[in-house]
Amino acid sequence: HEDMELTNFTYDGTDWTPETPVYWENLGDGKSEDITLRAMYQRADALNKEQMPEVFLTEITTKRYEPIELRFNLAPAKVVVELTSDSEDYNETFTPEELKDATMLLPSYISAYEIKNGIFAGGTTTGNINLVGGQALIVPQKKSGTLATITLNGNKYTVTQEEEQEFLAGRVYTITVNLL
């Protein structure tokens, strides 16, 4: 745990909380020199039911009794949609207050995933992902067509891209939309 407290572990599918430090002798079959360790840390819950939580994963294969360093990587990709309204004609623009009332979603994105024994696997089930505060944590994936939809004052705006966009784990992708 980041605060150096003992925390829950999973070993052979069984959850346990150690009462003493974890020793190499407790891990693996006790005979093999090589051992693979996986760890998961969830820093924050999902912003809503369609999104992923802020999950970090790591995996290392090392020799028994060697020191280890766990380097965690963010499992989801992050998408941020920023709204602006900039035009030389003032009558074409929305005010900042109006932009705050916009609802935004990522349509038909892969939303299913599984983390089993520290291994992440993206699913194939798709659905709409509502953005919270203009952002979403999503399953890493490739997407083309409609990347985002914005609804404002009863009007629907779409952001499309014909080329396939790859959303990689641990990266932040910003979509800036100028609404007029």
Checking if the pLDDT of 19 tops 80, the result is no
Say if residues 123 and 114 touch (Cβ distance below 8 Å): yes
d(C-alpha 161, C-alpha 179), whole Å? 17
User: What SS3 class is residue 99?
Assistant: helix
What lies within 8 Å, CB to CB, of 14 at 6+ separation is none
Q: Model pTM?
A: 0.81
Average pLDDT, rounded, for the chain: 87
The pLDDT value given to residue 36:
83
Q: Which has the higher per-residue pLDDT, 10 or 122?
A: 122
pLDDT tens across 21-71, in order? 666 666 666 677 888 888 888 889 999 999 999 999 999 888 888 888 889
